Structures are given as C-alpha cells and as structure tokens.
C-alpha cells in the first residue's frame, strides 16, 4: 500500500503550481466586499489568457447579459463583483493543474463533475435564497483534494484507482484504504496553504458530512449538488457511483419533485456552456 503521511501531503501541497496572485487574493477575501474593484480589474487584465477565458464565460448565456462585455471592469459593472470573482476563479483553477500525471485518472471527467457541481450548487442556492456566488465557488472546489493527491502523489493515486477498480465503492473509501487519508484531508490542506476563506474551508471539509454540527448550510448545498451531478452522470465516468445522500441535507433543501426536475435541466444546460469555455 502507498501510505501518504501528513508530512508527505504537506510537502506535496507546497510543491503544487501556484495560482495567479490575484486569484489567491480573491479566494482569501471571498467574504469581503470592500475590495478595490478598479485595482482588481487592472491586476486581472495583466493576465491575458485569464482575462479572455473570464470574459468568454461572462458573455455566455448562463449569465444572460444583454450587452457584450469586453473588459473585466465591464464584467464587474454588469454582473457584480462577486459573480465576476467566481468567473475569474473558475477560469484560473481549470487551467492551473497539470493533466496526465496519473495514468488512469480522467482529468476531463474530474473537471466536468466539478463544473457541473458548481452550476448545480449555484442554481440550488438561488432557490434557497443563499449566496449563489459562495455556492458556485464551493461547488467548484469541493473535490479539489483529489487533484492535490493526483498531482502530488501520482503513483500512490494510481494504486487507489486500482483498488477501486477491484473493490468498487466510493472514492473516499478507496483513498483511505490505500493512502491512509482521503481527498477531503488533502482539500483542507490545500485550503490552508492557499489561504482560502473559512467559508470555503468548511464547505470542503464537510461536503461529505453536512449533518456534522457546525458544518454549515453551504456544505449541505454542495453535498446535495454533488449527489445530483453524480446521479445525472455528467462526468461521463462509467464507473461512477452515486454517493450516499444525507437525509438531513436533502430535507433542508425543501424542494418539490417538480423543482428538482427544473434544477436537473438547468444544471445540464448551464454545464454544457460553462464547460465549453472552461475546458477549451
């Protein structure tokens, strides 16, 4: 077995590629509204690839703008600061981690699932009158620990893939059996290293256990969104398993069957457009 000690995990996190400084700043300040927008727009504009991807996403039908935005400042003006921060973060994260490090790990399927969970969490949060922008970012980041393990310990994670192929079950079970820790542990370690806000750390830490005292409603939203996206099989993974759903989290959404059907359709439609931009 390929055990990954906390020290080895910490070293692996330290060696990960860095996000652009402006994105690190955004993730750390997600609960703040007093960021100087003109300074932010200028910082982002220095990264042409990041700017281009962000603006393509802002102009997609998912955001329903009646005008075409051509600058980050315009995106902030028409979409609002928090929504634009989401787009910048999504554009940066989907291009940050190297692909193909671990044989057998499907990087595209990972991002398909993460983007769809972000879209579903955003739509679910709107129905719950919860902050949609927090939900989108938390949905995008919820499984980021898997990429940490794949990037930092590719050979060890190949053993995880082999174990799950033989035994089935959920990813966390396979990871703990082979590595001695799981992607939640790795995600929390990354959140601390990259100075994510406490809100994001909590969502990552408890998205599999939303009934835990103190987990917070955001973890419940991400938990339900994650399960819905697995059930819709958006990632296209033939070995995908729908995780056990917390009754507490599901009941907390208070949605009718008809509302869930609308949510499913909205998730699939928004995912297609977002993934076309973010995975291009």
Compare 210 and 80 and report the one with higher pLDDT. Answer: 210
Confidence band for 30, pLDDT divided at 50, 70 and 90: low
User: Which string of DSSP letters, residue by residue, matches 81-125?
Assistant: HHHHHHHHHHHHHTTTSPSSSSTT--HHHHHHHHHHHHHHHHHHH
- Which pTM does this prediction carry? 0.90
Q: Say which range, 31-40, 131-140, 202-211, 222-231, has the weakest mean pLDDT.
A: 31-40
- Which span out of 82-86, 239-243, 256-260 was modeled with the highest average pLDDT? 256-260
User: Are 48 and 21 within 8 A, CB to CB?
Assistant: no
User: Are 112 and 234 within 8 A, CB to CB?
Assistant: yes
Confidence band for 31, pLDDT divided at 50, 70 and 90: low
The chain-wide mean pLDDT, for the chain, equals 89
Confidence band for 81, pLDDT divided at 50, 70 and 90: confident
Q: Is the pLDDT of residue 80 over 70?
A: yes
Name the superfamily (CATH) of residues 1-15+101-280.
Hypothetical protein af1432 (1.10.3210.10)
pLDDT at position 34 is: 66
Cα 165–110–273 angle (5° rounding)? Answer: 140
pLDDT at position 36 is: 75
- Residue 48 CA, chain-centre distance (Å), reads 23
Q: What is the DSSP letter of 67?
A: S
Confidence band for 99, pLDDT divided at 50, 70 and 90: confident
> What does the pLDDT average to over 164-189?
93
> What does the pLDDT average to over 196-218?
94
Residues 47-57 pLDDT 10s: 888 899 889 98
> What does the pLDDT average to over 219-240?
90
pLDDT at position 102 is: 92
Q: Is the pLDDT of residue 194 over 90?
A: no
pLDDT at position 188 is: 95
User: Among the residues of the chain, which ranges form H helices?
Assistant: 6-14, 21-28, 37-45, 48-58, 72-79, 81-93, 107-128, 132-141, 144-152, 154-167, 171-179, 183-193, 198-206, 217-232, 247-253, 257-278
Q: Max Cα separation, the chain?
A: 55
Q: How many whole angstroms separate alpha carbon 199 and alpha carbon 138? A: 9
pLDDT at position 42 is: 85
pLDDT at position 1 is: 52
The proportion of the chain whose per-residue pLDDT surpasses 90, expressed as a percent, equals: 51
Q: What is the DSSP letter of 255?
A: -
pLDDT at position 227 is: 95
Placement of tokens 């671990």 in the chain: 102
For the chain, give every domain's residue range: 1-15+101-280, 18-96
Query: What are the residues whose beta carbons fall under 8 Å from the beta carbon of 121, sequence distance 6 or more?
Result: 135, 136, 138, 139, 221, 222, 225
């Amino acid at each position: 077995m390929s055990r990954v000690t906390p020290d080895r995990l910490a070293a692996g996190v330290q060696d990960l590629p860095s996000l652009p400084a402006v994105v690190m700043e955004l993730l750390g300040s997600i609960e703040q509204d007093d960021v100087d927008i003109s300074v932010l727009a200028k910082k982002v504009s220095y990264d042409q690839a990041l700017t281009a991807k962000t603006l393509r996403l802002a102009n997609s039908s998912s955001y329903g703008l009646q005008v075409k935005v051509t600058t980050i400042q315009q995106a902030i003006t028409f979409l609002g600061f928090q929504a634009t921060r989401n787009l910048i973060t999504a554009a940066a994260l989907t291009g940050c981690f190297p692909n193909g490090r671990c044989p057998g790990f499907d990087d595209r399927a990972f991002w398909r699932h993460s983007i769809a969970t972000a879209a579903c969490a955003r739509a679910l949060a709107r129905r719950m009158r919860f902050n949609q922008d927090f939900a989108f970012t938390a949905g995008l980041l919820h499984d980021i620990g898997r990429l940490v393990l794949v990037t930092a310990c590719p050979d060890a994670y190949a053993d995880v893939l082999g174990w799950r192929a033989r035994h089935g079950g959920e990813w966390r079970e396979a990871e703990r059996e082979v590595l001695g820790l799981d992607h939640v542990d790795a995600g929390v370690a990354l959140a601390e290293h990259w100075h994510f806000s406490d809100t994001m750390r909590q969502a990552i830490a408890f998205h599999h256990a939303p009934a835990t005292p103190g987990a917070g409603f955001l973890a419940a939203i991400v938990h339900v969104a994650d399960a819905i996206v697995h059930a819709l099989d958006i990632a296209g993974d033939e070995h995908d398993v729908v995780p056990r759903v917390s009754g507490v989290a599901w009941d907390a959404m208070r949605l009718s069957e008809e509302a869930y059907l609308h949510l499913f359709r909205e998730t699939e439609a928004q995912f297609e457009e977002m993934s076309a931009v973010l995975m291009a």
